[in-house]
Amino acid sequence: MEKLRTIDSHTVLYGVFGDPIRHSRSPIMLNRAFQETGVNGVYAAFHVKPEELGEAVRGIKALGYRGVNVTIPHKVDVMNYLDEIDEGAMIVGAVNTIVNEAGKLKGFNTDGIGYVRSLKEETGIELKGKRVLVLGAGGAARGVAYALAKEGASCIYIANRTRERAVELAQTIGAFTETVGLGMDELEDVVDQVEFVLNTTSAGMHPNVDELPLPLHLLRSHHLVSDLIYNPRITRFLRKAEAIGARIHGGLGMFIYQGAYAFEYWTGTPAPVEAMRQVVEQSLTE
């Protein structure tokens, strides 16, 4: 029997800002977390265009929202509007979670820690000493590359269509481990040297499910291939990798754990991870 929830004048407000946003499963997942834990909160999705981001963030304070998640394409630009930024988020230069502490907005990045927790739990990989290829250099790549470096990856290659962005991110992460920035046309040289390939781009996300982030001939059977996309649950990229004998890891666990960490920052209550996973999995089959 589901617990009934009442929205009243004590209900605390939360949400997610993105463009686009209607595909987001965050409201389903976090409202289930509030319901499961008895926290009097409600979480909604807000379509915020880039030119409206500053006004939207000021609205968090004006309306007394306790917390907001930030997704594509706002994770980097949102930092300009916050009062304080957590050290990890500052280093990676991307924020995906905002906590409103009595009118002071503090930014965090739960992408990286959420991703690593999911990767280790679901694959058992030991990251120490591993060589990794990260595809993409956007906000998600920043958080994840930092977390992989902190976990002891021995070398991280970052490949991006705009090579300059990859080089710039490699310089940032290079403070923590050996890091190399590349253009997508330079991948031939590194694929055989890495054990682990990770897609952080939106290539293959619903509705563009046929897009691939990497030419398939570059995948090897010894690779662990991971994708941050969770809709579809198994991307075409992962299906093709599995077909050549590579091990695969999807993005659902990262999505759940980044949300779980955000929930805990906002409420101080342990996140009901299994209930969150169940409701998201169910929504993806509908």
Q: Mark the binding-site residues for shikimate, compressed into ranges.
A: 24-26, 71, 96, 111, 230, 258
- Is 75 annotated in the active site? yes
Distance CA 135, CA 247 (A): 17
- For residue 158, the one-letter residue type is I
DSSP secondary structure string, 29-97?
HHHHHHHHHT--EEEEEEE--GGGHHHHHHHHHHHT-SEEEE-TT-TTGGGGG-SEE-HHHHHHT---E
How far the first Cα of the chain sits from its last, in Å, is 21
Separation of CA 199 from chain center: 11
- Cα distances (Å, whole numbers) of residue 234 to 47, 133, 154, 201, 212: 26, 19, 28, 15, 13
- For residue 58, the one-letter residue type is R
Distance CA 77, CA 17 (A): 12
Which residues are known binding-site members? 24-26, 71, 87, 96, 111, 136-140, 160-165, 228, 230, 251, 258
Catalytic residue among 3, 61, 75, 106: 75
Q: What is residue 81's DSSP assignment? A: G
Which residues are known binding-site members for NADP(+)? 87, 136-140, 160-165, 228, 251
Q: Are 100 and 61 in contact (CB under 8 A)?
A: yes
Could you tell me which of 25, 252, 279 has the C-alpha nearest to residue 118?
Answer: 252
Active site residues: 75
